[in-house]
């Protein structure tokens, strides 16, 4: 169940009706959008932004996603999207779990691996690590 | 009913299951995607592409859309997306109608007004008119 | 410019980075999503919900949208999405304008016509009018 | 590199311009859409459809996705989306790899685990296995 102490950041997100499909539940691809929104909001809390990074020639790209679908969200639901990060060399590993906001039951569990391009080349990630120093 | 002689271009498009919503029908916003796909494919048939135009400092932007929803598409359906264009000064008017591929009943009727930016400024559209000379 | 007295409801919405396209601006189709989110949130403020209406055999459907694109939104921007409604017989007309949250410049102006199906048949709209009596 | 003998099904899919984001490349979430389209088309080739299964009380749901992003697709690109499947008890494992249609370089590698609900309960998958007998 949800324990916010396990995470460095959490964001409530409401399901938008158009994100549900003919089964009446949120389509699997939309969860990658929720995860991305959460990472980008987290960046801003950390004092940077995806856009600012791009403008400085720093391009974080998704290298790998593992996502388990445990339960469903439907129209009108609100989720709590939680995140913690760690560095593994040139890779940054985001543990991203989504819970139902009311029942606190897990909805998805994901691990997202980000690497950082600098001017088009794979970087060692030192500049990204600096930006997130408070969280690493 | 569908009469392809009324149009300069037509493109069959199949509904993707994730484009339907909880009502089991294609969400209204997706039709704007279908219209855009059709315009971009038409551009290629006309010997240019959206990307090529952008690379030459030419930026067609949507200025106005009027769209009527007449019937619904659902999972598994295929549509015929039809288009004809005309120029009205600096504006290019696309008549874009979508029909059910099997029954030929009208699904949406739309009028899309495009203007052209050149290096960020509104242009008179002469370069875009050149690109589509065969259709104007 | 934005004058909230002109509207019955307004909702701040933040652009999600994935909603921008290769031109760096929000793709035209996403504005229909913003308009839909605003109508659905307005419904909830009015004491009903899209889902609740569906469960009672009441199915509001979009019949027509006219939308003018006046300026662009980009990554990181927040908009104010404003709405007022009126009834015209069986049709409900939503005036929906979106403004940049900081500059208050108009982004899109839209008119959305909704009709109401009851058990699959076009209704006179009396039940929908009841639900929105406070706003009509 | 692409070897179609490694797969049971392959589907060419063209990138739609709106699927690219501000980095000019296809957003990570869209690949889940491509994978879904491929599975659904494969179902049809196997003589069934997602809709038909739903109508018979059979509800295949995504349980887990692992996806690696190896290179990018951009506007105008076409991909070859390849699939093979195997059964592991109640789970159906789809190996789904996407290649650039021209260069045949790998774009994403994914493993998608599907389970099957029957009337809302997790099933042993025997009915789904029957539907795909020719491929298992």
State the average pLDDT over residues B94-122: 95
Query: CA D53 to CA B101: how far, in whole Å?
Result: 23
State the average pLDDT over residues B97-126: 94
* Backbone φ, ψ for residue A134 (5° rounding): -65, -15
Place of tokens 């040139």: A90
pLDDT tens digit string along D82-100?
999 999 999 999 999 999 9
Q: Please tell me the least confidently modeled range out of B38-52, B66-80, B95-109.
A: B38-52
Instruction: Name which of C3, C9, C2, C1 is nearest C85 in CA terms.
Output: C9
Is residue B99 within 8 A of residue B106, CB to CB? The reply is yes
Per-residue confidence (pLDDT) for residue C51, from 0 to 100:
74
Number of other residues whose CB lies within 10 A of the CB of residue D57: 12
In D, minimum Cα distance to B19 occurs at D33
Query: CA D113 to CA B72: how far, in whole Å?
Result: 32
Chain B residues in contact with C29 by the CB 8 A cut-off are 29-30, 32-33, 36
Query: CA C72 to CA C105: how far, in whole Å?
Result: 10
Q: Please tell me the least confidently modeled range out of B39-53, B80-94, C30-44.
A: B39-53
Q: Please tell me the least confidently modeled range out of A60-74, B76-90, B119-133.
A: B119-133
Number of other residues whose CB lies within 10 A of the CB of residue D47: 10
CB–CB contacts below 8 A, B to C: 54
Mean pLDDT of all residues belonging to chain A = 92
- Cα–chain-centroid distance for residue D105? 18
Query: CA B110 to CA B97: how far, in whole Å?
Result: 6
Query: CA B42 to CA B132: how far, in whole Å?
Result: 10
Per-residue confidence (pLDDT) for residue A131, from 0 to 100:
84
Which chains have at least 3 CB atom pairs separated by less than 8 Å from chain D? A, B, C
- How close B17 comes to chain A (CA, Å)? 8
Within A15-130, strands assigned E span 58-69, 78-88, 91-100, 106-118, 121-122
- Return the H-helix or E-strand segment holding A51: helix A50-55
- Cα–chain-centroid distance for residue A2? 16
The answer to ipTM > 0.85 is yes
pLDDT tens digit string along D4-15?
889 999 999 999
Q: Which tokens is D98 given?
A: 């996407």
3-state secondary structure at position D54: helix
Tell whether the model's pLDDT for residue A23 goes beyond 80. Answer: no
Within chain D, strands assigned E span 9-14, 58-69, 78-88, 91-100, 106-118, 121-122
Asked if C28 lies within 8 A of B67 by C-beta distance, the reply is: no
Tell whether the model's pLDDT for residue A50 goes beyond 80. Answer: no
* Backbone φ, ψ for residue B28 (5° rounding): -55, -35
Nearest to D75 among B33, B50, B76 (CB): B50
pLDDT tens digit string along A62-93?
999 999 999 999 998 999 999 999 999 999 99
Q: Which tokens is C1 given?
A: 């410019």
State the average pLDDT over residues B4-12: 94
Asked if C62 lies within 8 A of B22 by C-beta distance, the reply is: no
* Exposure of A94 in the CB half-sphere (CA atoms within 13 A): 30
Is residue B109 within 8 A of residue B65, CB to CB? The reply is no
Per-residue confidence band for B7, with pLDDT thresholds at 50, 70 and 90: very high
Per-residue confidence (pLDDT) for residue B11, from 0 to 100:
97
Place of tokens 């991909």: D79
* Helix spans in chain B (H): 30-45, 50-55, 126-131
Per-residue confidence (pLDDT) for residue B57, from 0 to 100:
84
Q: Between residues C92 and C130, which one has the greater pLDDT?
A: C92
State the average pLDDT over residues B104-131: 91
pLDDT tens digit string along C68-82?
999 999 988 999 999
Query: CA C8 to CA A32: how far, in whole Å?
Result: 34
Which chains have at least 3 CB atom pairs separated by less than 8 Å from chain A? B, C, D
Per-residue confidence (pLDDT) for residue D95, from 0 to 100:
98
Tell whether the model's pLDDT for residue D80 goes beyond 90. Answer: yes
Q: Between residues C127 and C109, which one has the greater pLDDT?
A: C109
Q: Is B57 on the interface with C (CB under 8 A)?
A: no
In B, minimum Cα distance to C31 occurs at B29
* Helix spans in chain C (H): 28-45, 50-55, 126-131
State the average pLDDT over residues D58-63: 90
Q: Which tokens is B44 given?
A: 């290629």
Per-residue confidence (pLDDT) for residue D102, from 0 to 100:
97
For the CA atoms of B43, B46, B47, B49, the dihedral, rounded to the nearest 10 degrees, stands at -10
Per-residue confidence band for D51, with pLDDT thresholds at 50, 70 and 90: confident
Q: Is A53 on the interface with D (CB under 8 A)?
A: no
Per-residue confidence (pLDDT) for residue C62, from 0 to 100:
95
Per-residue confidence band for D23, with pLDDT thresholds at 50, 70 and 90: confident
Query: CA A24 to CA A73: how far, in whole Å?
Result: 9
Per-residue confidence band for A120, with pLDDT thresholds at 50, 70 and 90: confident
Mean pLDDT of all residues belonging to chain B = 92
Q: Between residues C73 and D52, which one has the greater pLDDT?
A: C73
Tell whether the model's pLDDT for residue D24 goes beyond 90. Answer: no
In C, minimum Cα distance to B107 occurs at C63
Is residue D86 within 8 A of residue D136, CB to CB? The reply is yes
Is residue D71 within 8 A of residue D121, CB to CB? The reply is no
Query: CA A54 to CA A74: how far, in whole Å?
Result: 34
Per-residue confidence (pLDDT) for residue B14, from 0 to 100:
97
| Rg of chain B over all Cα atoms, to the nearest angstrom | 15
Asked if A40 lies within 8 A of C50 by C-beta distance, the reply is: no
Q: Which tokens is A67 given?
A: 């996502």
Query: CA A110 to CA A18: how far, in whole Å?
Result: 23
The fraction of chain C above a pLDDT of 90, given in percent, is: 65
Q: Is D100 on the interface with B (CB under 8 A)?
A: no
pLDDT tens digit string along C9-35?
999 999 999 999 877 899 999 999 999
Number of other residues whose CB lies within 10 A of the CB of residue B126: 11
Q: Which tokens is A122 given?
A: 């794979």
Is residue C86 within 8 A of residue C136, CB to CB? The reply is yes
Tell whether the model's pLDDT for residue C132 goes beyond 80. Answer: yes
Instruction: Name which of C117, D33, C34 is nearest B69 in CA terms.
Output: C117
Tell whether the model's pLDDT for residue A57 goes beyond 90. Answer: no
State the average pLDDT over residues C92-116: 97
Is residue B99 within 8 A of residue B82, CB to CB? The reply is yes
Tell whether the model's pLDDT for residue C54 goes beyond 90. Answer: no
Number of helices and strands (H, E) in chain D? 3, 6
Per-residue confidence band for A125, with pLDDT thresholds at 50, 70 and 90: confident
> For the purposes of burial, counting CB atoms within 10 Å of the CB of D120, is it exposed (0-12), middle (13-18) or buried (19 or more)?
exposed
State the average pLDDT over residues D22-43: 93
Tell whether the model's pLDDT for residue D104 goes beyond 90. Answer: yes
Chain B residues in contact with C27 by the CB 8 A cut-off are 36
In C, minimum Cα distance to A76 occurs at C51
Is residue D115 within 8 A of residue D91, CB to CB? The reply is yes
* Backbone φ, ψ for residue D32 (5° rounding): -65, -35
């Amino acid at each position: 169940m949800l324990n916010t102490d396990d995470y460095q950041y959490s964001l409530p997100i409401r399901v938008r009706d158009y994100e549900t499909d003919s089964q009446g539940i949120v389509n699997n691809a939309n969860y990658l959008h929720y995860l991305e929104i959460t990472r980008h909001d987290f960046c801003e809390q950390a004092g940077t932004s995806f856009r600012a990074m791009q403008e400085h020639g720093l391009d974080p790209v998704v290298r790998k996603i593992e996502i388990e679908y445990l339960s469903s969200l439907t129209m009108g639901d609100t989720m709590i999207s939680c995140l913690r990060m760690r560095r593994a060399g040139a890779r940054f590993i985001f543990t991203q779990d989504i819970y139902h906001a009311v029942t606190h039951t897990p909805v998805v569990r994901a691990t997202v691996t980000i690497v950082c391009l600098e001017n088009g080349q794979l970087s060692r990630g030192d500049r990204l690590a600096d930006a997130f120093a408070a969280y690493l």
